[in-house]
Amino acid sequence: RKEVEQDPGPFNVPEGATVAFNCTYSNSASQSFFWYRQDCRKEPKLLMSVYSSGNEDGRFTAQLNRASQYISLLIRDSKLSDSATYLCVVFTSGTYKYIFGTGTRLKVLA
Q: Of 96, 85, 71, nearest to 4 (Cα)?
A: 71
**Minimum gap (Å) between residue 35 Cβ and another protein:** 10
Q: Which of residues 21-60 bind another protein (CB under 8 A)?
A: 31-32, 34, 41-46, 49
Interface map 65-104 toward another protein (x if CB under 8 A): ----------------------x-x-x-x--xxx-xxxx-
β strands within 1-110, DSSP E: 4-6, 11-14, 19-25, 32-38, 44-50, 55-57, 60-65, 70-75, 84-92, 97-100, 104-109
The residue (of 1 and 41) whose beta carbon lies closer to another protein is 41
**Minimum gap (Å) between residue 42 Cβ and another protein:** 7
Q: Are 20 and 104 in contact (CB under 8 A)?
A: no
The residue (of 58 and 110) whose beta carbon lies closer to another protein is 58
